[in-house]
């Protein structure tokens, strides 16, 4: 009872805020490509903590019951819900059998905007369904599983505790990083109490650093015959445990959740950041269990930051053999479209263009489940002035100018003095944690939309199967030969080569019901009558794969006339039936 | 179910205690009773608990044997049931616990238990071992997790079938001109692979006993169960092969084992009983394999340690002609060394001895080495009967016009000795484990020196020595953060300070019988305290007068 009252109050307060925020519909003129009067008004120029995400998820699900279902796929280490939004046209077909695109964000705690990008996708799809025909058709065929954050504990920690833009990368399971038997005894210290861990510098005539004459906030190295003025002392902190090391065992890097996945996993001394064994991090375990249950997932995106990259595997040089030419071609087609849709983003391969790492999420999705997966590294300094890119080390760093002229120095903690218990008189300053890897507010919605458009293209290219055409031939004595062509009109096959090689998902089943089936075969060449007979259970022909933009041909010899139905049942390609 | 089991366990306990030692391998219930009986009879030394339940609703037992704060003392994990067809492994583990605790009324074992903790996991494959006691007896390794072994989308659709109705799954041979098997030249009960390289021609096709139930031209390729314990570990996991699991450590019992072991930083060695054997013959050093980015061979120092422990094993257990083995990947033995970072040892505990020709029967040495032929000779000499089913012709639906015979050696007998041999084997392995604990890393401060430098400053020097034969961690384990490092801490009073040297420091591995010298400059007078140690060495302390 109490609950219901609470819910009514909640709805009531919603409608009030809605009334306060939204303009009247007649006051609004639609900008192309954006929902003008969304049922759930959300501003996309800010970031949301886990409670904020939870509220948005609940609002979207409540406002669009026929398009969105919300479930918790598990709990984080600290007991927060891992929300998953299932988005499809629930009135059309069985949601569990439509080819699916899985999207998550925030596996690395400080790489937060993937959550907003994922949420934006859910919001845009549900709010545009009524007006945009393409979206309506897409959601009839496909389903999106969107998990905005798979690391909510450390997301909240990043926002609400003192952190730098690089911390924490890890979740919050405590680890004794320096192997001294004590856990988290020497982490960062927010010396000036402003919630940002920035840099420490000290005036030192023997130091090798000086202020940049162009922008004195910036520290640059003194030239070869030049005297420096400062030494740099690292991120804010003190030697809490008296072992002569500063910040060597904190919560900020316990482990790396993206080294915890069950393909090519290696232990910590080979792959830094690995925890105990694959899926030993509870959040990843929940995702794994969800993916194992949803065998219709054919495509996936895992959002990271930063650098403006569209990444595919292999994650490790040792895993090159897993990606063969046929699959690489498919990755190439999708990602090259992504480069067009995402100015400043480059299509790269993790092991050779970034770093070689074992046990990443995209490695398991592809290597372990045969799912075509990208990781986009969101945000690039290209977006500051629409030029340059993060890969060019010789280009001047545009951050200081961007902060000065477009953010009016909102992103920087000015250098200020501090009396350090171990270093004495020092200065503290530097970019805040919300700058460097995160989008500034005014660019957030724009890049969220572009990245969403890439995922929509990716999802659109998952298999679309049809019983394309059927030929009948009388064989005499009441026997008939039925030949069916099963077509896949999109780029992604029902089984990636990795999937087909290891039979990760079962074969596609093409069955005929109605007449009595005497024999069944897969045809290599129907005109020359070359095929392979399937001796067992001939009414359901098993095929290893239905290629992208390709087809397979099956043939049955049946007895008796009359109506029949041909059904194609593919784990990643969906189910289609046609009556004859 | 649970309630009923407990009730059963409780009422059968006194019976068991009164009863004689077991006369055959223990099934799940009998083993559970033996575990409960130990923690009841020796409650001051042993406690047991279930760390997980398998898909087949069976408890995985963990027995902790030791005194006081067991987690603060160096420990050895002892693991049985590593392979579901290896009943002896379970007997060795539980038998070790029983023997050790029986000895707890002696001073030597009491002293041992004061300095070493043993963690015994008697059976990691209870779903599979139960098949030995089942209506249909066959060698099973998979647990009760339903798996699609041939990955055709159907689960457990082609299990073996008892064609001759003798309650055992043996073999079937099909006479065929394209066969690749022939009769053994010295014993026509035995069938061996024809050596094509020597121009030999086969006459038989060999299958395990059964029908191609799903008509896919494969026999018995997808029966009951499951994931194999000894194929589901992370080192060289044989992904997508039968028994390996969908990914490493997918099974609740393996996860529970690993979580428990990872939490026990005091464990320095894992001794397991499985077909893999680095105790009879140690792993040797291979520089190329050891120095790869992903090491696949023992580091040089660790190979030496393996050789030392192997020597100890062979001296105590003294069983020759062990079959050569190479860990197949996904196995516990490799995991415990390469990924857990501990010393790792495994032995099958027993194998069929090389049978000498029986001159009374005018036997000659076998012209072709073969384990079955050797077993049959050995068994005859031991008076063991009824372990071989003579070949018998049957009608087989999949070979309508061919001669099919069912027969051959019983399952289990090649790796599990007759039970009357088990107590002796257990006793020797208990002695080995006790001797191995004598090798454990043990720290001591020696040569403590104080020198007055004047002005209230004293130079303190101390040697920290590892009196044990084993290093404080394996060379590979030293790289792994799941091993703690030795911490040395100097405690001072408010009027004292450490002006030279480190108040707190981590040491690298101390090799067996090696020493490291440490020194500090201390300002002040009176007494300071120095403490050194980590989880797998225990902690030592000393007071020093300045």
CA separation for the pair A42, A56 (Å, rounded)? 8
Given a contact cutoff of 8 angstroms between Cβ atoms, the answer to whether A484 and A467 are in contact is: yes
Instruction: Please indicate whether, in this complex, the C-beta atoms of A506 and B148 are within 8 angstroms of each other.
Output: yes
Residue B98 has a CB neighbour count (10 Å cut-off) of 25
CATH class of residue range B443-545:
mainly beta
Domain range B2-131+226-351+417-437, its CATH number among 3.40.50.11540, 3.40.190.10, 3.40.109.10, 3.40.630.10: 3.40.630.10
Residue ranges with strand state E in B200-266: 204-208
Q: Which of A179, A244, A288 sits opposite B484 (nearest CB)?
A: A179
Q: In the A/B pair of chains, how many CB contacts fall below 8 A?
A: 105
Query: Distance from A518 to chain B by nearest Cα, in Å?
Result: 16
> How many residues can be counted in chain B?
546
Instruction: Please indicate whether, in this complex, the C-beta atoms of B248 and A181 are within 8 angstroms of each other.
Output: no
- Across the range A95-122, mean pLDDT stands at 98
Query: Which pLDDT does position A21 carry in this prediction?
Result: 54
Q: Residue A269 pLDDT more than 90?
A: yes
> Ranked by mean pLDDT, which of A238-242, A293-297, B383-387 comes out on top?
A293-297
Query: Distance from B380 to chain A by nearest Cα, in Å?
Result: 46
Instruction: Please indicate whether, in this complex, the C-beta atoms of B502 and A244 are within 8 angstroms of each other.
Output: yes
Q: Residue A17 pLDDT more than 60?
A: no
Query: Distance from B373 to chain A by nearest Cα, in Å?
Result: 37
Q: Which of A179, A280, A318 sits opposite B485 (nearest CB)?
A: A179
Query: Which pLDDT does position B84 carry in this prediction?
Result: 98
Task: Name the residue in chain A with its Cα closest to that of B291.
Answer: A270
Residue B281 has a CB neighbour count (10 Å cut-off) of 15
| Closest to A428 in 3D by CA, of A414, A440, A442 | A414
Quickly state the pLDDT bin for A410 (edges 50, 70, 90).
very high
Contacts of A373 (CB under 8 A, 6+ apart): A299, A300, A301, A302, A312, A313, A361, A362, A365, A366
The percentage of chain A sitting over the pLDDT mark of 90, rounded to a whole number, equals 86
Decide if B2-131+226-351+417-437 and B443-545 have a common fold: no
Element (H, E) at A467: strand A465-476
Instruction: Please indicate whether, in this complex, the C-beta atoms of B262 and A276 are within 8 angstroms of each other.
Output: yes
Instruction: Please indicate whether, in this complex, the C-beta atoms of A244 and B247 are within 8 angstroms of each other.
Output: no
B247, B254, B293: which to substitute to probe chain A, counting the most A Cβ within 10 Å? B247
Query: Which pLDDT does position B20 carry in this prediction?
Result: 61
* A121-165 residue pLDDT tens: 999 999 999 999 999 999 999 999 999 999 999 999 999 999 999
Given a contact cutoff of 8 angstroms between Cβ atoms, the answer to whether A103 and A95 are in contact is: no
- Across the range A321-326, mean pLDDT stands at 92
Contact residues on chain A for B480, CB-CB shorter than 8 A = 267-269
Domains of chain B, residue spans: 2-131+226-351+417-437, 154-224+353-409, 443-545
Contacts of A549 (CB under 8 A, 6+ apart): A488, A489, A490, A491
End-to-end CA distance of chain A: 54
ipTM over 0.90: yes
With an 8 Å Cβ cutoff, is A276 touching chain B?
Answer: yes
Instruction: Please indicate whether, in this complex, the C-beta atoms of B249 and A507 are within 8 angstroms of each other.
Output: no
CA separation for the pair A554, A375 (Å, rounded)? 37
B216, B339, B489, B501: which to substitute to probe chain A, counting the most A Cβ within 10 Å? B339
Residue A346 has a CB neighbour count (10 Å cut-off) of 20
Question: What torsion do the CA atoms of A201, A203, A207, A208 make, to the nearest 10 degrees?
Answer: 60
> How many residues can be counted in chain A?
580
CA separation for the pair B181, B202 (Å, rounded)? 5
Question: Looking at chain A from residue 304 to 323, which residues have their Cβ under 8 Å from any Cβ of chain B?
Answer: 318
| Closest to B350 in 3D by CA, of B262, B302, B296, B413 | B413
Structure tokens at B451: 């020198």
Contact residues on chain A for B240, CB-CB shorter than 8 A = 502-504
Query: Distance from B228 to chain A by nearest Cα, in Å?
Result: 17
Contact residues on chain A for B258, CB-CB shorter than 8 A = 276-277, 280
Quickly state the pLDDT bin for A393 (edges 50, 70, 90).
low
Predicted TM-score (pTM) of the model is 0.94
- Residues in chain B whose Cβ is within 8 Å of chain A: 148, 151-153, 214-216, 234, 237, 239-240, 246-250, 255, 258-259, 262, 265, 293-294, 338-339, 341, 476, 479-485, 487, 502-506, 534-535
**A79 upstream amide cis, omega within 30 of 0:** no
Given a contact cutoff of 8 angstroms between Cβ atoms, the answer to whether B34 and B48 are in contact is: no
The CA–CA distances, whole Å, from A435 to A410, A488, A512 equal 9, 45, 59
Q: Residue A250 pLDDT more than 90?
A: no
- Across the range A167-196, mean pLDDT stands at 90
Cα B257 to chain centroid distance, Å, stands at 13
With an 8 Å Cβ cutoff, is A184 touching chain B?
Answer: no
**A168 upstream amide cis, omega within 30 of 0:** yes
B232, B234, B258, B489: which to substitute to probe chain A, counting the most A Cβ within 10 Å? B234
| Closest to A376 in 3D by CA, of A488, A300, A316, A269 | A300
B481, B487, B497: which to substitute to probe chain A, counting the most A Cβ within 10 Å? B481
Pairing of strands B187-193, B267-273: unpaired
* A202-212 residue pLDDT tens: 999 999 999 99
Place of tokens 């680095």: B278
Q: Which of B262, B480, B506 sits opposite A269 (nearest CB)?
A: B480
Instruction: Please indicate whether, in this complex, the C-beta atoms of A181 and B535 are within 8 angstroms of each other.
Output: yes
Q: Which domains does chain A have, with CATH numbers?
A: 42-157+256-379+440-460 (3.40.630.10), 465-579 (2.60.40)
HSE-up of residue A349 (Cα within 13 Å, Cβ side) = 12
Quickly state the pLDDT bin for A12 (edges 50, 70, 90).
very low
Contact residues on chain A for B152, CB-CB shorter than 8 A = 503, 506-507, 542
Instruction: Please indicate whether, in this complex, the C-beta atoms of B240 and A292 are within 8 angstroms of each other.
Output: no
Structure tokens at B483: 């091993």
With an 8 Å Cβ cutoff, is A180 touching chain B?
Answer: yes
Element (H, E) at A69: strand A68-75
Given a contact cutoff of 8 angstroms between Cβ atoms, the answer to whether A424 and A442 are in contact is: no
The 3-state secondary structure of B55-94, one letter per residue: CCCCEEEEEEECCCCHHHCCEEEEECCCCCCCHHHHHHHH
Instruction: Please indicate whether, in this complex, the C-beta atoms of A180 and B481 are within 8 angstroms of each other.
Output: no
Instruction: Please indicate whether, in this complex, the C-beta atoms of B480 and A268 are within 8 angstroms of each other.
Output: yes
Instruction: Please indicate whether, in this complex, the C-beta atoms of B153 and A180 are within 8 angstroms of each other.
Output: no
Query: Which pLDDT does position A11 carry in this prediction?
Result: 47
Contact residues on chain B for A269, CB-CB shorter than 8 A = 341, 476, 479-481
Task: Name the residue in chain A with its Cα closest to that of B477.
Answer: A269
Query: Distance from A472 to chain B by nearest Cα, in Å?
Result: 28
Q: Which of B255, B479, B502 sits opposite A269 (nearest CB)?
A: B479
Contact residues on chain B for A265, CB-CB shorter than 8 A = 234, 237, 248
Contact residues on chain B for A507, CB-CB shorter than 8 A = 152-153
Q: Residue A287 pLDDT more than 80?
A: yes
CA separation for the pair A210, A218 (Å, rounded)? 9
Cα A183 to chain centroid distance, Å, stands at 31
Element (H, E) at A480: strand A479-488
Q: Which of B214, B259, B506 sits opposite A179 (nearest CB)?
A: B506
DSSP B491-524: E--TT-EEEES-SEEEE-PPPTT-EEEEEEEEES
Q: Which of B214, B479, B485 sits opposite A536 (nearest CB)?
A: B214
User: For each of chain B's 546 residues, which pLDDT tens digit applies?
Assistant: 344 444 444 444 444 443 467 899 999 999 999 999 999 999 999 999 999 999 999 999 999 999 999 999 999 999 999 999 999 999 999 999 999 999 999 999 999 999 999 999 999 999 999 999 999 999 999 999 999 999 888 899 999 999 999 999 999 999 999 999 999 999 999 999 999 999 999 999 999 999 999 888 899 999 887 999 999 999 999 999 999 999 999 999 999 999 999 999 999 999 999 999 999 999 999 999 999 999 999 999 999 999 999 999 999 999 999 999 999 999 999 999 999 999 999 999 999 999 999 888 888 999 999 999 999 999 999 999 999 999 999 999 999 999 999 999 999 999 999 999 999 999 999 999 999 999 999 999 999 999 999 999 999 999 999 999 999 999 999 999 999 999 999 999 999 999 999 999 999 999 999 999 999 999 999 999 999 999 999 999 999 999
CA separation for the pair B316, B439 (Å, rounded)? 14
């Amino acid at each position: 009872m109490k609950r219901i009252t609470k819910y009514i109050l909640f709805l009531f307060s919603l409608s009030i805020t809605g009334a306060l925020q939204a303009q009247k519909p007649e006051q609004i003129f639609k900008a192309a490509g954006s929902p003008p009067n969304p049922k759930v008004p959300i501003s996309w120029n800010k970031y949301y903590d886990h409670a904020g995400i939870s509220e948005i998820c609940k609002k979207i699900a409540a406002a669009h019951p026929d398009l969105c279902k919300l479930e918790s796929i598990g709990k984080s280490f600290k007991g927060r819900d891992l929300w998953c939004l299932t988005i499809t046209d629930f009135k059309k077909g069985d949601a569990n059998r439509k080819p699916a695109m899985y999207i998550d964000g925030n596996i690395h705690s400080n790489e937060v905007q993937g959550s907003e990008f994922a949420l934006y996708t859910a919001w845009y799809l549900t709010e545009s369904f009524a007006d945009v025909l393409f979206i309506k058709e897409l959601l009839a065929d496909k389903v999106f599983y969107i998990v905005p954050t798979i690391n909510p504990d450390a997301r909240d920690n990043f926002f609400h505790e003192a952190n730098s833009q690089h911390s924490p990368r890890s979740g919050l399971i405590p680890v004794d990083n320096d192997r001294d038997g004590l856990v988290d005894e020497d982490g960062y210290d927010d010396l000036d109490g402003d919630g940002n861990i920035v840099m420490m510098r000290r005036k030192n005539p023997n130091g090798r650093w000086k202020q940049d004459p162009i922008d004195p906030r910036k520290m640059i190295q003194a030239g070869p015959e030049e005297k420096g003025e400062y030494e740099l002392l690292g991120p804010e902190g003190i030697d809490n445990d008296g072992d002569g090391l500063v910040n060597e065992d904190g919560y900020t890097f316990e482990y790396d959740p993206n080294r915890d996945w069950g393909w090519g996993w290696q232990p910590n001394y080979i792959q830094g950041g690995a925890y105990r064994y694959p899926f030993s991090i509870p959040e990843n375990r929940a995702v794994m269990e969800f993916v194992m249950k949803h065998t219709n997932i054919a495509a996936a995106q895992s959002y990271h930051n930063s650098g403006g990259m569209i990444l595919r595997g292999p994650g490790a040089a040792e895993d090159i053999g897993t990606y063969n030419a046929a699959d690489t071609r498919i990755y190439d087609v999708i990602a090259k479209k992504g480069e067009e849709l995402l100015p400043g983003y480059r299509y790269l391969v993790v092991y050779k263009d970034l770093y070689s790492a074992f046990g990443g999420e995209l490695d398991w999705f592809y290597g372990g489940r045969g799912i075509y997966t990208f990781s986009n590294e969101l945000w690039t300094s290209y977006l500051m002035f629409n030029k340059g890119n993060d890969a060019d080390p010789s280009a001047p760093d545009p951050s200081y100018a961007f902060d000065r002229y477009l953010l009016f120095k909102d992103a920087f903690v000015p250098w200020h003095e501090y009396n350090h218990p171990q270093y004495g008189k020092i200065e503290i300053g530097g970019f805040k944690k919300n700058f460097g890897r995160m989008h500034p507010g005014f660019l957030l919605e724009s890049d969220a939309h572009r990245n969403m458009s890439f995922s929509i293209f990716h999802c659109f290219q998952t298999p679309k199967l049809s019983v394309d055409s059927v030929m009948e031939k009388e064989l005499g004595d009441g026997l008939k030969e039925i030949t069916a062509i099963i077509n896949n009109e999109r780029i992604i096959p029902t089984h990636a080569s990795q999937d087909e090689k290891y039979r990760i998902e079962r074969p596609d089943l093409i069955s005929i019901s109605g007449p009595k089936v005497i024999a069944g075969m897969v045809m290599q060449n129907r005109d020359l009558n070359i095929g392979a007979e399937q001796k067992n259970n001939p009414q359901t022909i098993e095929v290893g794969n239905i290629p992208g933009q390709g087809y397979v041909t099956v043939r049955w010899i049946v007895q008796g006339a009359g109506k029949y139905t041909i059904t194609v049942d593919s784990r990643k390609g969906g189910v289609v039936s046609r009556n004859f | 179910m649970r309630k009923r089991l407990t009730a059963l366990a409780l009422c059968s306990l006194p019976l068991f205690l009164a009863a004689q030692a077991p006369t055959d391998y223990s099934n799940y219930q009998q083993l559970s009773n033996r575990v409960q009986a130990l923690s009841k009879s020796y409650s001051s030394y042993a406690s047991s608990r279930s760390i997980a339940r398998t898909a087949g609703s069976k408890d995985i037992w963990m027995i902790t044997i030791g005194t006081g704060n067991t987690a603060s003392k160096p420990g050895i994990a002892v693991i049985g049931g590593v392979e579901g067809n290896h009943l002896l492994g379970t007997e060795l583990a539980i038998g070790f616990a029983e023997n050790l605790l029986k000895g707890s009324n002696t001073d030597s074992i009491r002293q041992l238990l004061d300095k070493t903790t043993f963690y015994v996991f008697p059976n990691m494959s209870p779903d599979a071992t139960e098949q030995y006691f089942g209506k249909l007896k066959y060698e099973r390794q998979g647990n009760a997790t339903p798996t699609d072994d041939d990955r055709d989308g159907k689960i457990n659709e082609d299990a073996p079938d008892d064609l001759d109705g003798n309650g055992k799954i043996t073999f079937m041979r099909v006479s065929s001109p394209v066969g690749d098997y022939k009769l053994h030249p010295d014993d026509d009960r035995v069938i061996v692979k024809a050596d094509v390289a020597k121009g030999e021609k086969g006459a038989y096709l060999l299958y395990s006993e059964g029908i191609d139930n799903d008509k896919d031209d494969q026999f018995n390729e997808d029966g009951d169960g499951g994931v194999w314990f000894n194929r589901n570990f992370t080192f060289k996991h044989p992904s997508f092969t039968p028994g390996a699991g969908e990914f490493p450590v997918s099974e609740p019992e393996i996860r529970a084992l690993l979580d428990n072991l990872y939490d026990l930083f005091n464990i320095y060695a894992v001794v397991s009983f499985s077909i893999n054997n680095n105790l009879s013959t140690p792993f040797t050093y291979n520089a190329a394999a050891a120095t790869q980015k992903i090491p696949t061979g023992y580091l040089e120092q660790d190979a030496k340690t393996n050789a030392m422990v192997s020597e100890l094993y062979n001296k105590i257990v003294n069983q020759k002609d062990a079959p050569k083995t190479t860990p197949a990947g996904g196995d516990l033995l490799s995991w415990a060394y390469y990924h857990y970072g501990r010393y790792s040892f495994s032995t099958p505990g027993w194998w069929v001895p090389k049978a000498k020709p029986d001159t009374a029967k005018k036997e000659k040495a076998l012209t072709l080495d073969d384990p079955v032929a050797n077993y049959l000779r050995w068994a005859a000499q031991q008076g063991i009967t009824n372990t071989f089913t003579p070949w018998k012709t049957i009608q087989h639906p999949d070979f309508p016009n061919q001669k099919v015979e069912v027969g051959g050696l019983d399952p289990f007998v090649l790796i599990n000795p007759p039970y009357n041999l088990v107590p002796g084997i257990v006793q020797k392995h208990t002695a080995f484990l006790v001797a191995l604990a004598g090798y454990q890393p043990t720290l001591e401060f020696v040569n403590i020196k104080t020198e007055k430098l004047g002005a209230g400053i004293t130079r303190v020097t101390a040697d920290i020595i590892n009196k044990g034969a084993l290093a404080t961690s394996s060379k590979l384990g030293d790289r792994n953060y799941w091993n703690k490092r030795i911490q040395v801490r100097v405690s001072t009073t408010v009027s004292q300070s450490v002006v030279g040297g480190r108040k707190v420091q981590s040491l690298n591995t101390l090799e067996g019988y090696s020493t490291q010298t440490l020194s500090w400059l201390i300002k002040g007078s009176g007494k300071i305290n120095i403490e050194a140690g980590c989880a797998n060495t225990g902690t030592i302390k000393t007071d020093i007068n300045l």
